Structure 1
Amino acid sequence: MDINGDTIKFREKEYTCNFKITIDLIGGKWKTLILWYLGNQGTKRFSELQKLLPQVSHKVLTQQLRELEDDRLLERQVYPQVPPKVEYTLSVQGRTLMPIFDTLCQWGDEYRKRSFMYKKTLYKKTDKLCEEAKLIREEVFVKEQGFLDEFDEIDEIAKHLVFYADGKPAATCRYYRGKEEGEYTAGRIAVREEYRGRNLGQHIMETIEENVREDGGKSITLSAQKRVQGFYEKSGFKAYGEPYLDEHCEHIHMIKILD
């Protein structure tokens, strides 16, 4: 493999990165599954692979196996008998892929569990600040982050959402109508420490947007702590104006226009 500037040359083809080489070798709908089954269940005959992959045609399976053999990711053993017997086994090189597949399998399992959790995540909406929302905000903003002026007159006019995980209050936020028609403001987005790292924050932002759209909103503004500006950018918010201090913490105004 020769590197010529930003271009990688491999087998008479040019690539911009090694990841594309990997995809060429094991990409597609069936190659990864073939390698996965051989790595976890051992040597298989053609007919056994067909049973494991009933959706793939005889022609496509033959082609995929031939390409994997040409790339030395599996080995084919032909037995001189009638009827012919052919077995496929992962090669030494092919086995180096198994730790990668194990990691991908773990990632898929975690993604599935999180997706299920979000579908089952319940939330309630109230017109007044409820005790559960108050306790979460005190825990996160007052005790953990050191804010003093956490509660204000906006709590009297805002809609408050409380999200539940494992049957317990896990997060909260509020949103309210702005001065301009179609303008809404979101804020006080707080997730309890033990529920962080589950993408619950993203679920909150999607729920806020869903509620604002139902109310006929055209835009959502918020005042983000500067340190988590990137989180809101992932949800489609854009910063405007200059950073400013709210108590001891640097903030930035952000907005999302709803299509």
Structure 2
Amino acid sequence: MSDTCVPSGVRLNDTGFGYTLSIVGGKYKMIIMYWLSENKVMRFNELKRCIGSITFKTLSIMLKEMVADGIVIREEFPQVPPKVEYSLSERGLSLMPLLNMMCEWGEKNMAPKNRVQP
């Protein structure tokens, strides 16, 4: 096992670190994962309302990418009007410890003026 996850002379995209970034990177993917982990199953408009600042097009693109990467499950129900639900896959759930570690790091390193008091 090497001492670094990005050894010199190796392209970032060819490393495990680069691969992980490609899966969770971007402005909204981790936020989508957060809401799906909190609510287990959500519909498109529920996600849109929770995130707020995301456009319909961007949310649609992010969800399609996450489904293609095996992070999110899209379940379509054959009814009128159509009903589609999104949830984290086992693969997506396996990323939650990473997000939890990021949360813990933020709590430890956030400036006191930015902390939310319970």
Q: TM-score scaled by structure 1?
A: 0.39
Could you tell me which residue of structure 2 aligns to residue 72 of structure 1? Answer: 70
Name the SS of the counterpart of 1:15 in structure 2. helix
CA distance in 1: counterparts of 2:10 and 2:109, whole angstroms: 34
Could you tell me which residue of structure 1 aligns to residue 116 of structure 2? Answer: none
- What displacement does 1:40 show? 2.1
- What displacement does 1:16 show? 4.5
Give the number of the structure whose alpha-carbon radius of gyration is greater.
Answer: 1
Unaligned runs of 5+ in 2: 1-8, 114-118
CA distance in 2: counterparts of 1:79 and 1:48, whole angstroms: 17
- The RMSD of aligned alpha carbons is 1.8
- What displacement does 1:15 show? 2.3
Q: Tell me whether 1:116 sits opposite 2:108 in the alignment.
A: no
Please show how residues 1-259 of structure 1 align to structure 2 within 5 Å: 6-7=9-10, 15-112=13-110, 115-116=111-112
Could you tell me which residue of structure 2 aligns to residue 157 of structure 1? Answer: none
User: 1:22-48 deviations in whole A, cap 9, x for unaligned?
Assistant: 111110000011011111221000010
Unaligned runs of 5+ in 1: 1-5, 9-13, 118-259
Could you tell me which residue of structure 2 aligns to residue 220 of structure 1? Answer: none
**Structure with higher strand content:** 1
Between the two proteins, the alignment pairs up a number of residues equal to 106
Q: Which amino acid aligns with 1:111?
A: N
- Aligned identity (percent) is 34
Name the SS of the counterpart of 1:55 in structure 2. coil
Q: Which has the higher contact order (CA 8 A, sep 6+)?
A: 2
CA distance in 1: counterparts of 2:93 and 2:47, whole angstroms: 18
User: 1:95-115 deviations in whole A, cap 9, x for unaligned?
Assistant: 001111111111111112xx2
Name the SS of the counterpart of 1:72 in structure 2. coil
User: 1:175-212 deviations in whole A, cap 9, x for unaligned?
Assistant: xxxxxxxxxxxxxxxxxxxxxxxxxxxxxxxxxxxxxx
**Structure with higher helix content:** 2
